[in-house]
Structure 1
Amino acid sequence: MSAAGRAELARRWTVAVSTAAYVPLSREQLEQQLLDLVDELLDLVAADPFDPRPAGRAGAQLVLGNITSRLALRRTIELLGEGCRRELAERQGSVDEPKVTALLAEFAAGFAEGVRQLTFNQQEELKKALLSAKLDAERELRVSESRFRELFTASAMGIAISDLDGNFIEVNQAFTEILGYTGPELGFLTVPDLFAPEETADLALLYRHLVEEQVDRFRCRTRLVSKEADSVFAYLAVSLLHDADGRPNGHVTMVEDLTNLHLLQGRFSHQTLHDQLTGLPNRQYLHSRLQSVLGRAEDGQIITLCHLDLDSFTVINDGLGHHIGDELLKTTAQRLRAAVAGHNAMVARFGSDEFAILIEDSPTPPDVPALAARINEELTEPTYLDGYGVAVTASIGVVQRPAKGMVAAELLRAADLTLHRVKASGKAQWGLFDPAREARDRARFKLAASMPGAVESGEFSLRYEPIRWLGGRELVATEVLVEWAHPELGPLPHQKCVELAESTGLILALGRWVLKRACRDAAEWRPPEGDPPTVLATLTPYQSQDPDLVDNVRKALAEAGLAPQRLRLRMPLRAVVKEDSDAADNLRVLTDMGVTVGLDEFGRDFTDFVRLPTLPVYAVRFDRVLVQRLGEEPDPGSSVARVVASLTELAHEVGVKVIASGVDSPATLDWLTGIGVDAGQGAQLGPPRPAEAFIAVSGHSAL
């Protein structure tokens, strides 16, 4: 939040508490103090790692400023909640409700502790006044009586004076208001009659200790019972009274009503551990429950953990509206509960359209296939909302393991990895955790997660593979390839790096880095004769559809001082012809800029050539699998060879040149040349080389 926004929040806070409580400060002083607290709390809620505990000190500071009323606390919580959500939205792009709730809970707890300390101080002052009144009775009886009476009558805390048997001698108005009894009605009761049944024994023991062990006082949180049989959560402070000879002769019981604060803290606690929309436990609650279950697990106990993701839920949200999506999520929560009603199970919502089911050990662990089928059977039953019959299916990752010795975090991660694997195989699928596959996936994810640091530390480098005419072997272009010099695994090739970047979403950032470096390298190529070679970059489907692709290309060319004609891009054909894709628009704009664009993965679909005349491209590259299946000694009579030859002829008929990669054997080179393939790349046409190797290259030709 900006400085102006924080100042406005502090101003509103000042107005709110000034009208709810007397504050012995000028408005400017109070506003400055509250601005300091706003800065501290907003920085705290957005901190990483997040630790809400310092917020308790801020709550205690309010009490030090004499801001102690319930109305001031309520208004403070509302304003701080609004400010925290706005801070998170501006800093992180989303609101983390558990963070906000935890911060406000700590703040309220600090406020309560401050009030408790203030109460304690007031109690001490009151006791001193009572003792002074007794000791100075003969000398200052009227003054002491007046002082005691003022404190006793005006105090916001309930005060009761009783004899050692618990009979009430005198109570103040606050005491009667808290418990709901009138003074005369209390005359027929004793102090223990007000204790909650489950608290009676412990409190009676504490009262006896005051007399038997000559303890001056005790304090405790407890529960009393009002006249209407309602629970009164209270902070109790009890002191022993003595007669003129110093013998115990009664008690002073002071009661602070904590009911509202207790309910507020309970609400905060529930919100922290439950999803507000569905009422289901959230991830934090399930994690705690899982830790508890694993902590008490015995030999042979089986635990089942399901991680679910609703398939195509965004279709309903975007197509029919979020209000229908929210109602469907509520229905989903109910149906998941119904699907596991026969088990000792907890259903939780992890957020958005993700749910989890924890099934503890039972006489017979659930049959996973039957459980998955039952879940999807429940979910596919249409729910009618606003006249629409909607339903969803779920992809389910399942971990079913012996519970003893397992770790909660590891189980959750295993279920998440299994879900990711299941989602890759289609909709409404389920899968069991596979330890061997999980180890491979974890190694791959670990490798992918370390890529940004590797790029920053210079472990990535670029190499350039020649693309040559098959007829005369002249250089057509150089394709930029990225290589990772991994300190433990050794060199990782281009295709491996691309796959890892695609799996983590790093491909756009990596692509921008490669594009800038490649343009800069190409701008430095100054051969002794002829034109410098053109640099070519092959894009992934994700890169091809990037709305910022054209702008990134324009910036890379401008920063390097490279002409657009010196850059070539290659897009996957499947991305360009996909409906509602930005790839086709990017292709046309880039062509208008002067960048030559070709298509990759040609031949996956035999009808690919039908789309070529409508696209402003000059060349296509065969799908790598087609060339690989030709083998080192292509058989002209094989089905693959006939397909490659036919596609080459069809591409030429629509005016598009054909390129083949993986030209690694002399026989493959000769056969591809013979059927009219225009250009190629591979071991037979030159290995990838560093940028410096192309400074002396000449004889460049354009497609």
Structure 2
Amino acid sequence: MRSPDDPRGGPEVLTSQRRDDRWQAEVAGRWAAELSTASYIPMSRQAVEDALRELVEEVVRALDGASELDEVGRSVGDRLVRIHATGEESLGISLRVLRDALVAEPGGGQVRPLVQLLTGIAAGYAAADRESTFIQQETLKRALLRSKLKADRDLAASEARFGEVFSSTPIGVAICELGGEFVQVNPAWEDTLGYRSADLESMTIHDLFHPDDAEYVAAAYAEIAETGRSGRLDERVRLVRASGEEAWAYLALSVLRGPDGSARRLVTMVEDITELHLLQQQFQYQALHDALTGLPNRQFFRTRLETALCNLPPNARLGLYHLGLDGFQLINDGLGHAVGDHVIRLAARRLEGLVDNEEALVARFGGTEFAVLMWEREGTPGVGEFVAMVNDALSKPIYVGDQGIATSASIGVVQRLAGEGDATEMLWAADVALRRAEAVGKRQWALFDPDRAPEERLEAKRAAVMPGGLATGEFDVAYRSAMDLRDGRTYGVEAQLLWETEEFGTIRHHECLRLAERSGVTLSLRDWMLRTVCEHRAEWWRDGHPTAVAVRLSANQAQDPDLVAVVRRALADDPGEGGELRLCIPTSAVLGPHEEARENVHHLDALGVRTALHGFTGAAEELHQLRTLPVDVVQLDHGMVELVHDALAEGPAALDAPEVDAVRGIVPLITRCGADICVGEIDTDVQARFWRDLGCRIGLGAAYGDAVLSFDVPDLLSKIS
């Protein structure tokens, strides 16, 4: 290689002394930078520079030993391709960078080794690039081949799976032409509907629709075929089996499309729900019918009543009879519930027989209550006549073994024109009429009185909201004075319930007890009252005002087996020194078979709680119980007291009436039994003197002031004493 001082001049390849490591690194850096603008090399910049530095080093060694120039050049070109320096301008960039780096001055013939080297690089690069392209083509071809083979395998597997599902699914599947002609059906379709493939060759799917559903289903098929939208019919449809029987099913329809996306065929899937439909029908029947008699129940009866009111002519008259069998508990208690059920079933059949020739519906409302709805037309029995027919039918003996059993019914009746009727109001009115009939006695009937409807509804509403009033603290206890008629001193106080309501005003003791019986809070109200009274007694005792307190109970409250336990709990926090506690129970509660009430009187006496009887009339059995029970006070019946007060108001002559003499005769009989007599509703001094002169000891009423709340009782006792 010529030295720089050669007199011939010309370009010169750099000498090895100038190709040190620093120089090689700079060339590799420039080379990497230039290549980064021409192609994407999936390596870090440093890795690219390291690889190119190796190539620079190899080029320099080749130039120092010219015999290997072609081989080295091809190697360098090949390695450029391998590191993916294969952009459109990558080769030109590589050659230019090497030329500029290795030639000191332009021109001259001393660059022949370099040209040979660069030519080798270009040849190597081109060969490697062709091989890389070939490899990529082969790789792509093999990938395409593998993809096609996989697609073929997937298609075959998919077709196999479809065939397996098509054949084994329990849901019937049919593929049809757009016109409904069958192309293929699966075994489940054949099993569900009973048709073989050969049977379907001459049929269309429309031939399988039940005549009642054919129009609707055919329209759905036409819409899906036209729009190409798949879907499920919203309603159950009926198909016709090969045997001619109905099959209830859900249908799901979908479209098979051609290569151009247009609808070519329809797929119908049939889910047989015949058994489910029959089961649901059975459940619906059970939900709407009484299990014992098979008659419609209250819910079904109400629905039919609403339908009748809507569909009958406005001037059509409907009669609604609400029946309650009388004294049926005697049959259950005396002969057993099995016999009672037998009687109810026969009663149902007899009621049905009475309306065989009428537009009528008989239902059982539960227990011993039935209802009859009748369209009253010409020839239909009138109310009185039909009521008599009912009781005549029920009174015929029903024989169980050798024993003949008969029953009767109390009946409430309401009549309405269809155009004026309301189902809820009619059912309520019939129930009100029935309760009124039952209050009169057995085998009675009552026609609903619309003039009393507001009163009846108000009564029912007050009873209905009473439990809520008790829970929210609307109740209180008031106290009125009980006076000793002999000396005018305080005998004690009587506790009275007081219900303060925003809607109904103030409801007092007797009305509270009556409403409590209807609302079902009788015992809860009693327990609350006893606790409250004992708390008040304890307060008065602590304030230095001990006094006797009487609490009036209803018959149900007095007959409750838990009465003694309730009183014991109420007295648990009572100091026991606040004056005696006396429970006043109805005289009727201790008469006849009411052992619970009589036992309660004995147990209360052992507990130290005195008992009084109210509503006392002086009858022989009442006097007998007065002598045998630990009772020391009786309160005369309100009717007897009112009779005497009316006579006093009329004048002295009225006091000689036999009924007044009867009252005079009762008083000594009571006192002979060892009991003091209490008289209620004394409003005047004249009345008080009459009862005092007659021998009565205790007086209650307006003459002794109004009832007061517990915190005013001490002042009340002080004033009266």
TM range (shorter): 0.7 to 0.9
Q: Tell me the TM-score normalized by structure 1.
A: 0.74
Correspondence 1:661 to 2:676:
no
Aligned-residue sequence identity (percent) comes to 38
| Alpha-carbon contact 2:238-2:248 (below 8 Å) kept | yes
Alignment match, 1:115: none
Quick one: structure 1 residues 660 and 232, their matched pair in 2 at CA, closer, same or farther if it must change by over 3 Å?
same
Alignment match, 1:520: 535
What do the CA deviations read for 1:132-159 (whole angstroms, capped 9, x no partner)? xxxx999977445423322221222112
Correspondence 1:257 to 2:280:
no
CA positional deviation for 1:681: 2.0
Structure 1 window deviating more from structure 2 (446-455 vs 370-379): it is 446-455
Counterpart among 666, 678, 695 of residue 647 in structure 1? 666
Residue aligned with 1:427, SS = coil
Counterpart among 232, 239, 259 of residue 219 in structure 1? 232
Q: Letter of the 2:501 partner, please give it.
A: H
Quick one: structure 1 residues 550 and 699, their matched pair in 2 at CA, closer, same or farther if it must change by over 3 Å?
farther
Q: Letter of the 1:555 partner, please give it.
A: R
Alignment match, 1:613: 627
| Alpha-carbon contact 1:137-1:144 (below 8 Å) kept | no
CA positional deviation for 1:515: 1.5
Residue aligned with 1:197, SS = coil
CA positional deviation for 1:309: 1.2
Within 5 Å, give how 1:142-153 maps onto structure 2: 142-153=156-167
- Output the CA distance in 2 between the equivalents of 1:649 and 1:643: 11
- Output the CA distance in 2 between the equivalents of 1:587 and 1:253: 81
- Output the CA distance in 1 between the equivalents of 2:303 and 2:621: 55
Correspondence 1:279 to 2:298:
no
Alignment match, 1:180: 194
CA positional deviation for 1:165: 5.4
Correspondence 1:677 to 2:696:
yes
Residue aligned with 2:572, SS = helix
- Output the CA distance in 2 between the equivalents of 1:300 and 1:377: 31
- Output the CA distance in 2 between the equivalents of 1:158 and 1:296: 42
Within 5 Å, give how 1:345-494 maps onto structure 2: 345-363=360-378, 366-494=381-509
| Alpha-carbon contact 1:167-1:190 (below 8 Å) kept | yes
Correspondence 1:155 to 2:169:
yes
Correspondence 1:540 to 2:554:
yes
Correspondence 1:691 to 2:706:
no
Within 5 Å, give how 1:46-85 maps onto structure 2: none
CA positional deviation for 1:346: 0.9
**Quick check: which has more Rg, 1 or 2?**
2
What do the CA deviations read for 1:74-117 (whole angstroms, capped 9, x no partner)? xxxxxxxxxxxxxxxxxxxxxxxxxxxxxxxxxxxxxxxxxxxx
CA positional deviation for 1:267: 1.8
Structure 1, unaligned stretches of length 5 or more? 1-135
Structure 2, unaligned stretches of length 5 or more? 1-149
Structure 1 window deviating more from structure 2 (475-484 vs 281-290): it is 475-484
Residue aligned with 1:276, SS = coil
- Output the CA distance in 2 between the equivalents of 1:493 and 1:693: 18
| Alpha-carbon contact 2:495-2:549 (below 8 Å) kept | yes
- Output the CA distance in 2 between the equivalents of 1:195 and 1:622: 83
Residue aligned with 1:198, SS = coil
Alignment match, 2:126: none
- Output the CA distance in 2 between the equivalents of 1:504 and 1:604: 32
Alignment match, 1:603: 617
CA RMSD of aligned residues (A): 2.9
Q: Letter of the 1:572 partner, please give it.
A: P
Residue aligned with 2:440, SS = coil
What do the CA deviations read for 1:539-561 (whole angstroms, capped 9, x no partner)? 21111101111111111111333
Within 5 Å, give how 1:490-501 maps onto structure 2: 490-501=505-516
Quick one: structure 1 residues 655 and 248, their matched pair in 2 at CA, closer, same or farther if it must change by over 3 Å?
closer
CA positional deviation for 1:256: 1.6
Q: How many residues align?
A: 564
Counterpart among 302, 316, 320 of residue 305 in structure 1? 320
- Output the CA distance in 2 between the equivalents of 1:148 and 1:505: 67
Structure 1 window deviating more from structure 2 (637-646 vs 178-187): it is 178-187
Counterpart among 238, 242, 245 of residue 230 in structure 1? 245
| Alpha-carbon contact 1:519-1:562 (below 8 Å) kept | no
Quick one: structure 1 residues 156 and 650, their matched pair in 2 at CA, closer, same or farther if it must change by over 3 Å?
same
| Alpha-carbon contact 1:399-1:411 (below 8 Å) kept | yes
- Output the CA distance in 2 between the equivalents of 1:528 and 1:151: 91
- Output the CA distance in 1 between the equivalents of 2:420 and 2:349: 32
CA positional deviation for 1:468: 2.4
Structure 1 window deviating more from structure 2 (650-659 vs 482-491): it is 482-491
- Output the CA distance in 1 between the equivalents of 2:596 and 2:522: 17
- Output the CA distance in 1 between the equivalents of 2:209 and 2:702: 89
- Output the CA distance in 2 between the equivalents of 1:315 and 1:226: 55
| Alpha-carbon contact 1:224-1:232 (below 8 Å) kept | yes
What do the CA deviations read for 1:426-453 (whole angstroms, capped 9, x no partner)? 1111111111112111112222323333
Alignment match, 1:576: 590
- Output the CA distance in 1 between the equivalents of 2:578 and 2:585: 17
Correspondence 1:288 to 2:307:
no
CA positional deviation for 1:162: 3.6
Quick one: structure 1 residues 185 and 308, their matched pair in 2 at CA, closer, same or farther if it must change by over 3 Å?
same
Q: Tell me the TM-score normalized by structure 2.
A: 0.73
| Alpha-carbon contact 2:682-2:701 (below 8 Å) kept | yes
Residue aligned with 2:420, SS = coil
What do the CA deviations read for 1:607-640 (whole angstroms, capped 9, x no partner)? 5323321111112111121111112356542223
- Output the CA distance in 1 between the equivalents of 2:636 and 2:218: 89
- Output the CA distance in 1 between the equivalents of 2:267 and 2:702: 96
- Output the CA distance in 2 between the equivalents of 1:219 and 1:482: 66
- Output the CA distance in 1 between the equivalents of 2:508 and 2:360: 47
- Output the CA distance in 2 between the equivalents of 1:163 and 1:419: 67
| Alpha-carbon contact 1:274-1:281 (below 8 Å) kept | yes
